[in-house]
Structure 1
């Protein structure tokens, strides 16, 4: 007899904290300002995150001195596709928008922090809010997210 084992999403231990960022900057500019203001060293990953036919750019930094792992990921990605219509509007391009965390569409970026100390998150939020181009940054409760599996990478 064959046994099937299933791993439930509820069994996953949320060992990371999440900071939501609202700003109109491009992803490379956001990483630059975070590096400058919050004393991070985020670099672009060679491989992007593939979720539901969309690719999201990722910036990461492993702080080995303090044993923290920082990851910046864009929440919204727009892709332009050629329209396959042969009619009057055959040159039109379709623009598709994808969200990494669909229930938080208003958030532009997520800064995922794997750290044991909550003071690190508080200090990071304070430094990020001092960036002039950032509208607001705040700590986000992970348990309230339905699509938190997209943030496990």
Structure 2
């Protein structure tokens, strides 16, 4: 009797382009600016990306261009959460302090504020043209292309 073995190392193999954006504006303002400058129709999704059982959540904007078979996503890379921190000072009463914790969706790029993920069936999007348009936006500090295959936490971009 023959033994058949299936190796499933990399089950999810979706080709997409990833652009990192550094800017200090809110996510809804950046979505508006991208819609205006790149001729997109990004809308906020009802559910955010939640990691580690609601420890951190990241905003997600999406537009599915049905005519060109392209899905555009704007993903926040930074989540700031205020938590109460308990510590004992050696007195009868415990002190509580508010601590601001910062989480990152892609931990290798902690200085990046947002990512644009472009998933396409046909390879007809030129990311160099998109980069040149992004660098003409005064609110965006810088933007550059990221190779998603070199990311350790690339599974966080599956949604």
TM-score (norm. length: structure 1): 0.87
**Structure 2 equivalent of residue 35 of structure 1:** 35
**Which has more radius of gyration?**
2
Equivalent runs, 1:67-78 vs 2, <5 Å: 67-78=69-80
Matched, 1:137 2:143: yes
SS at match of 1:59: strand
Deviations 1:51-79 (A, max 9, x none): 12211110000011211100000111100
**Structure 2 equivalent of residue 122 of structure 1:** 128
Equivalent runs, 1:74-85 vs 2, <5 Å: 74-85=76-87
Show structure 2 runs of 5+ residues with no match.
1-5
Contact persistence 2:131–2:143 (CA under 8 A)? yes
Higher helix share: 1
Contact persistence 2:35–2:42 (CA under 8 A)? yes
Instruction: Flag as ranges the 4+ runs of structure 1 deviating above 6 A.
Output: none
Find the aligned partners of 1:6 and 1:55 in 2 and give their Cα distance.
Answer: 33
Q: CA RMSD in A?
A: 2.0
SS at match of 2:13: coil
SS at match of 2:21: strand
Find the aligned partners of 1:71 and 1:135 in 2 and give their Cα distance.
Answer: 19
Question: Against the structure 1 CA distance between its residues 89 and 30, is the aligned structure 2 distance closer, same or farther, given a 3 Å change threshold?
Answer: farther
